[in-house]
Structure 1
Amino acid sequence: MYFKEDKMKILKFGGKSLANGKGIHKVINIIENKVGNGESITVVLSARGRSTDQLEEILDRAVNNESYQEQLQAFKQYQVDSYGDFKVDDEFKTLDKLFEGVSLLGDYSKRIKDQVLSQGEVISAKLLTHILKEKGINANFTDSRELIKTDGKFGEAQPLDKLSKENVVKHFKKYNGTTVNIVTGFIASNTKNETTTLGRNGSNYTAALLANYLDAEELQNFTHVSGIYTANPDLVSDAKKIERLSYTEANELAYFGANILHAKTIIPLIEKNIPLRILNTFDDQNNGTLITAENSSKGIKSLSVLENVSLINLEGRGLLGRVGVDARIFKALAYKNISVSIISQGSSERGIGLVVESEKAIEAKKVLKQEFEADFYKKDVNKITVANEVAVISIIGQDLSTFHRPYNALIKNQVIPLLFNNTVSGKNVSLVVYKAQLHKALNVIHGEIFGVAKKINIAVFGHGLVGGTLIDQILKSAKDIEKRKKIDLNIFAVANSRKILLNENGVDTNWKSIVEEGDSYQIKDVIKFADAHHLENLIAIDNTASKDFTDNYSVLIENGFDLVSSNKVANTLSFDFYKELRMKLEKHQKQYLYETNVGAGLPLIDTIKLLHLSGENITRIKGVFSGSLSYLFNTFSKEKRLFSEVLGEAINKGYTEPDPREDLCGNDVGRKLLILARELGLSNEFNDVNIHNLIPENLREGAADTFLKRLKELDSVYQKIKDEQKPNHVLRYIGDLHGDLFKEKGILDVKLVSVPESSALGQVKGSDSIFEIYTESYGDQPIVIQGAGAGAAVTARGVFGDILRLTEKS
């Protein structure tokens, strides 16, 4: 047998690579270059484009006595289009005859189907041989039916190795040296010379068998992707190419559904230690994925998916402790040639789940009902159900010791696996999920375990001063956060009360002008958008001051959103609403953070929560809660100026609301104080808060403009209060939570007080807030938290902090 000095390489090209246009031209270029470089090659081909699918579709029409001539003509035209004098009349006549017979009989056998489908590979190989010869390459059409001999099982025949190898060696002894054999993949023949096919991934199997029989140097499998990825790139945009795999890992991937591989393809290569390289026909600069006998680095390799499966559940109390149930299941199914890919049962053994091919699910259920008929009668088995809309995700290389991470991430994203199991080695875990959740589940798991940035999808409601500043802060910091913390913050929605901007890839710095041109919306539209684009790790940000928007909290939680809010309303509505919201959060395992509700960006609520949860008894909380009122009374107390002048200055600097009565009435401070009370488990309502309204009664009604014109009427009132203070005292508007805080309710006072200038409250400057937390352990010495308590930038930064805290918990 004569070969070139180099061992032979087997090149296999798939249907997409051989499609009309760019595909087939790239294939020809690859072969020309390899021949030009003096490489010894054999080429194995699939049918071109969708040829196999088209032939099956025509077969279905023919068997149902439907018109198929138009489709058949289109098939023929595709095969010869633009290829000059290329003719395959014999193959077309064979198809005409076969389809006519099927149409007349109204039926066909697997043997007939194999004859029909084989024509796709024959035409493909003849065309490529024809083109290569025209280019001066010594190509030889090789019909694998003359080489690969199989048993008589049509549709999925098994090769007869000894006879097939003899045929291959004999053929390549005759056609060697400069000859490039163009071999039909997928098809073979039995000992009666009847056409058979090799089943799923049959062309790859043909290539692997040839590599084995010829002791090839390498099998190069050219596809439409650049190798094997950590997940299907069509489903997971962050999927990364795997450079190297071992045969064992590849075999696991093949078994658990990797599209490019099939377990039977790997076996002939393992026997001869022949490397397999997965390459991209359309990207000649990519080295693809190399699969060899050498073990690569340990760890999780990839996520594989099986989609055309069904989950069968066998349930019954009588299964508890019963020996041999699994054996009965396998025996009954094996009798009908039904394979089980996954089986799992609970520790109670009251339920057993098994995964089978969807097309065999109905038959499997029937077989199991027959097997357990007596058990149904005795009520040891209650029911057998089939779930069809499911898929299996297998995490190849997953160790159970770290499985909690992807599992918890799924639960957080409201993807509840229906079943899971691990292999005997404990290094692969498979999950069954609803098919509707497959896309999201893959992205959640992939983001959790492959070291790529975890994507956090954010919807911002309210883009005024705080909301707009927050969006700009996130956009400015996003790249740095992704680099440092491996967190990809993606703002997919920005909305005001009327319009919304939606973009699954995230908004950019032009968001503000685009929102105004956006669409009107309801909250269900945001939820539908997130579902349609399989967005994971969802956070809704409420930067409104709207009571109406808080009505959306429950539905957002139910649909997988965590909440972050600078809006104080939800936490100060009725205590029943407050409790119900917490119960819903717990039920759906979602988080609700609102640090900016009190103290803007100061770590007040977190500190109180920590103290309370640790068992520290908090006895009192008091402080200056309002940054705007802090500025007002700090300045008025210190400087010899009229109250109206200082208030006007605060208004002009934007420290107050446009109508300053919203600050002066004390309701905002009252709400903040109520929020803290509820953090301690107190059941106070807003009407329990004793609020000292700073606006004289005669000025409380009327338009804001009228009030602003009458500010001087406040001067005599507050000058008198200021003058009547003790020496070295200053005015502060405070919130004070006190009383017996172990009872159901505490005492909540909001009032203007005079305090020593040297006290902690008295030393507050500018618009700072200050909070004193008294506890049993600290006695009269309070924990003091002080800092900027107002301003859009500070509040937005506090909301940003809550977002980042959520990403760490997720």
Structure 2
Amino acid sequence: MKILKFGGKSLSNGDGINKVVAIITDKVNQGEEIAIVVSARGNATDELEEILKVAATNKDYKLLFEGFKKYQQDEYENVDLSEEFNVLEKLFEGVSLIGDYSNKIKDQVLSKGELLSAKLLTAILIENGINARFADTRELIKTDSKFGDAQPLEQISKKNVINYFKENNGTTVNIITGFIGSNNNNDTTTLGRNGSNYTASLIANYLNAEELQNYTHVDGIYTANPDLVLDAKKIDHLSFNEANEIANFGATILHAKTIIPLLEKNIPLRILNTFNHENKGTLITSNSNKEGIKTLSVLENVSLVNLEGRGLLGKTGVDARIFRVMGDNDISVSIISQGSSERGIGLVVAADKATKAMIELEKEFENDFYSKDVNKITVTDDVSVISIIGQDLSTFHKPYTALIKNKIVPILFNNTVTGKNVSLVVKKSQLNKALNVIHGEIFGVSKKINIAIFGHGLVGGTLINQILESAATIEKRKDIKLNVFAIANSSNVLLNKNGVTPNWKNEIQNNGFSYTIDDVIAYANEHHLENLIAIDNTASATFVENYIPLAESSFDLISSNKVANTLSYSFYKKLRKVLADNQKSYLYETNVGAGLPLIDTIKLLHLSGENITKIKGVFSGTLSYLFNNFSAKDAPFSEILKEAIENGYTEPDPREDLCGNDVGRKLLILARELDLQNEFEEIDIQNLIPEHLREGDVSDFLNKLTEFDPIYAKIKADQKPNHVLRYIGELSGDLQNDKGNLEVKLVSVPSDTALGGLKGSDSFFEIYTESYGDRPIVIQGAGAGSAVTARGVFGDILRLSDKG
């Protein structure tokens, strides 16, 4: 025989109860021997409790009761439920008159949910040609008299169930009420919340059932609550021990008491979905198919009670006193954690028992307050417990580090004696994000990286398209899911927690709205987005002011904007301190050399203790193109400059390139990587623009480009034979001091040198070190172009995504 148990949502009106009838009919037609245990339909138990409370306050409960009756009767007018409705009406009237009720009365009221459910289902099945019989477990399951949480009396209950099924079995499908029983005086009792599961497992035990099938509204047990973690995966197989841990640590799909009767008889438990009964669900047996982390369970509606006191150091018996207080006041402690010094002890208890726990502990430790052994006893509300079932402490550093990286600091944690389960107490507001961070770290799902991109011009727009085009391949190859949730320019932002589409340009135009950086941060918090990266593809000096609030709000930073690294040295250091304090990274490989691995190389050399003595090179792809072509071609300077402008190599105002400030900024960035404290004003920059052309509007400047020609024709003619012009940045001097010599200048070099042989718009860098002597490390490659820069930023995204 198989026992089938159907939950409240499965038995709800419409699709729910119709599916239940179809499942039972199908099994009967296939010749399966089954018995059915039912919960109350829909939210009946909660509704009955609410009506009871309203009646006890002498308020008008009748409208609520009429609504309850209407739902329970639904379209089944031919089914007689009047007996239960009449009893409920008298009970509510009595409670309303007295203004109070006992747990005994409450059990009588709540029991009606299951009785109505079983009677209705029995009638519907009979109408559908099924030989169904209503079974009232008040006549079968005998309990003690602890109303609200009664314990079954095993011997008599077992005897009753076996005898009943001897008389009423064979072709009969028994529809059994879950949750309820009766004491020796035949007073109605209930087995506690989720007690219908317990009833089903007891019946399965007494009858040596082949399997208990628990039908719910989900496909089985998941690696996390799929309502909270979208990437949660169904678990095909669990052991009873693992299921028991899951139940103890808050998984609402299981009741902790359910497991023991099944374990005694080695009866498999299968969790199935009423609304998708073709799915095979989760099978729970005595054997686990493999070691490892199984699931994340959550305990909500809890509070943390804290005892603090330096006088607890080394004192024995403190835990015993705490547990005595808890036991005497019927307060269950789900977690206790303390330091080895016992200077702080934390207890997790049900939220509605926390104040009582604090008051009773204050009484117990009254003398310790006077002696100042205990400083204070406090309650922290709005907390949740996440339990990682199957977590070994040897690998716990991975999810813990991921939490810290996302600015989630657990308030308390502990592990079981076996070291195979770890529980964390976190702020309730951080629960969703914490679950997603841990889940992404420990299960075989893609690690989600949530990206906000500021600036969607040439570089930013190219980057967005590169990410969208490559996202599927990267997820498949590296298990990293890149999700661009925000795109912004200086005035508008487009937000989508599920990621922007390839049509983002139209969407930002039509759906974008004005914003501040706080709006983006608030959106990320509201939607519990983890592994946040902010990318600055602007050239804005004002946007840099947002770096610190972004880092403080759990964003890592990536920038193609050079401004932040070239502002005052004090800001440079302040930003690094904020990044360090918040354990955030800031990558800016494209600040110098577009996508070339220059900054990383210099960082590694410097960190390894290598003494860098000089850095020299062509830092600007624009000016590389200009002087490479001017030196090689017999053409006036203005003609080459016009080519560079037409090819998009220059800024809209070419003077931004020609003034040399951009090269100066890049040189300063490299100097600061060597811990030099130079300021931008200290760089000796040779401005390539004739003084009389430095002011005025862009169009006026572009009309006067030929005025460059005689100046640069003379410079070119005055060179030594076989020499070419190159515009370089050079860092020199004693670089072990606080400051170096920074120069940006036009030089003439032999054409047969590496620098002289430069072509196109390539960047070129020579890094001289003590170890390498006169033979520099040379880095050369494409130094301009939106695609190259965007690809370099993309590389920084993948570097950050791979970390931790």
For normalisation by structure 1, the TM-score amounts to 0.99
Shift of 1:757: 1.1
Matched, 1:504 2:497: yes
Matched position secondary structure for 2:414? strand
The answer on whether the counterparts of 2:39 and 2:179 sit within 8 Å (CA) in structure 1 is: yes
Equivalence map 1:313-462=2 (5 Å): 313-462=306-455
2:750 to 752, 756, 770: 756
Matched, 1:640 2:634: yes
Shift of 1:64: 1.1
Moved more, 697-706 or 340-349: 340-349
Q: Partners of 1:743 and 1:107 in 2: how far apart?
A: 83
Equivalence map 1:63-102=2 (5 Å): 63-102=56-95
The one-letter code sitting in structure 1 at the alignment partner of 2:551 is: I
Shift of 1:325: 1.3
Shift of 1:698: 0.8
Matched, 1:791 2:785: yes
Instruction: After superposition, give the CA deviation of every residue in 1:146-204 in whole Å (9 maximum; x if it has no partner).
Output: 00000000000000000100110111111011011100100110111000000021000
Moved more, 452-461 or 340-349: 340-349
2:172 to 179, 183, 188: 179
Equivalence map 1:507-546=2 (5 Å): 507-517=500-510, 518-546=512-540
The answer on whether the counterparts of 2:723 and 2:748 sit within 8 Å (CA) in structure 1 is: yes
Shift of 1:349: 2.3
Matched, 1:490 2:466: no
Moved more, 573-582 or 321-330: 321-330
Shift of 1:338: 1.2
Shift of 1:107: 0.8
The one-letter code sitting in structure 1 at the alignment partner of 2:126 is: K
Q: Partners of 2:697 and 2:667 in 1: how far apart?
A: 28
Shift of 1:658: 1.7
Matched, 1:606 2:597: no
1:558 to 549, 552, 563: 552
Shift of 1:505: 0.6
Instruction: After superposition, give the CA deviation of every residue in 1:390-449 in whole Å (9 maximum; x if it has no partner).
Output: 000000000000000000000000110000111000010000000100000000000000
1:731 to 703, 725, 733: 725
Shift of 1:372: 1.1
Instruction: After superposition, give the CA deviation of every residue in 1:186-243 in whole Å (9 maximum; x if it has no partner).
Output: 0110111000000021000000000000000000000000000000000000000000
Q: Partners of 2:768 and 2:277 in 1: how far apart?
A: 70
Q: Partners of 2:788 and 2:316 in 1: how far apart?
A: 65
Aligned to 1:230: 223
Shift of 1:294: 1.5
Matched, 1:256 2:246: no
Matched, 1:465 2:458: yes
Aligned to 2:663: 669
Q: Partners of 1:98 and 1:576 in 2: how far apart?
A: 75
Shift of 1:348: 3.2
Matched position secondary structure for 1:287? coil
Shift of 1:367: 1.4
Shift of 1:65: 1.1
Q: Partners of 2:414 and 2:571 in 1: how far apart?
A: 41
Gaps (5+ residues) in structure 2? none
Q: Partners of 1:332 and 1:67 in 2: how far apart?
A: 40
2:587 to 590, 593, 600: 593
Shift of 1:339: 1.4
Q: Partners of 1:240 and 1:689 in 2: how far apart?
A: 57
The answer on whether the counterparts of 2:618 and 2:765 sit within 8 Å (CA) in structure 1 is: yes
Q: Partners of 2:716 and 2:198 in 1: how far apart?
A: 94
Instruction: After superposition, give the CA deviation of every residue in 1:546-584 in whole Å (9 maximum; x if it has no partner).
Output: 011111111111111000000000111111111110000
Q: Partners of 1:589 and 1:637 in 2: how far apart?
A: 48
Matched position secondary structure for 1:494? strand
Aligned to 2:573: 579
Instruction: After superposition, give the CA deviation of every residue in 1:279-338 in whole Å (9 maximum; x if it has no partner).
Output: 000002200000011122111000000001111111111111112211111112111111
The answer on whether the counterparts of 2:247 and 2:254 sit within 8 Å (CA) in structure 1 is: yes
Aligned to 1:774: 768
Shift of 1:262: 1.5
The one-letter code sitting in structure 2 at the alignment partner of 1:141 is: F
Matched, 1:700 2:700: no
Shift of 1:504: 0.7
For normalisation by structure 2, the TM-score amounts to 0.99
Instruction: After superposition, give the CA deviation of every residue in 1:769-801 in whole Å (9 maximum; x if it has no partner).
Output: 011111111111111111001100000000000
The one-letter code sitting in structure 2 at the alignment partner of 1:541 is: I
Q: Partners of 2:367 and 2:90 in 1: how far apart?
A: 51
Q: Partners of 2:243 and 2:623 in 1: how far apart?
A: 68
In the comparison of the two structures, how many residue pairs are matched? 803
Gaps (5+ residues) in structure 1? 1-7
The one-letter code sitting in structure 1 at the alignment partner of 2:736 is: F
Matched position secondary structure for 2:789? helix
Shift of 1:744: 1.2
Deviation above 3 Å: which 4+ runs of structure 1? none
Q: Partners of 1:775 and 1:314 in 2: how far apart?
A: 58
The answer on whether the counterparts of 2:761 and 2:784 sit within 8 Å (CA) in structure 1 is: yes
Matched position secondary structure for 2:219? coil
Q: Partners of 1:460 and 1:95 in 2: how far apart?
A: 61
The one-letter code sitting in structure 2 at the alignment partner of 1:730 is: V
The answer on whether the counterparts of 2:195 and 2:255 sit within 8 Å (CA) in structure 1 is: no
Aligned to 1:807: 801
Aligned to 2:614: 620
Q: Partners of 1:374 and 1:622 in 2: how far apart?
A: 74
- After superposition, the CA RMSD in angstroms is 0.8
1:717 to 708, 711, 722: 711
Matched position secondary structure for 1:347? coil
Matched position secondary structure for 2:275? coil
Q: Partners of 1:348 and 1:717 in 2: how far apart?
A: 79
Instruction: After superposition, give the CA deviation of every residue in 1:57-83 in whole Å (9 maximum; x if it has no partner).
Output: 111111111111111001011111211
Shift of 1:380: 1.1
Q: Partners of 1:349 and 1:127 in 2: how far apart?
A: 57
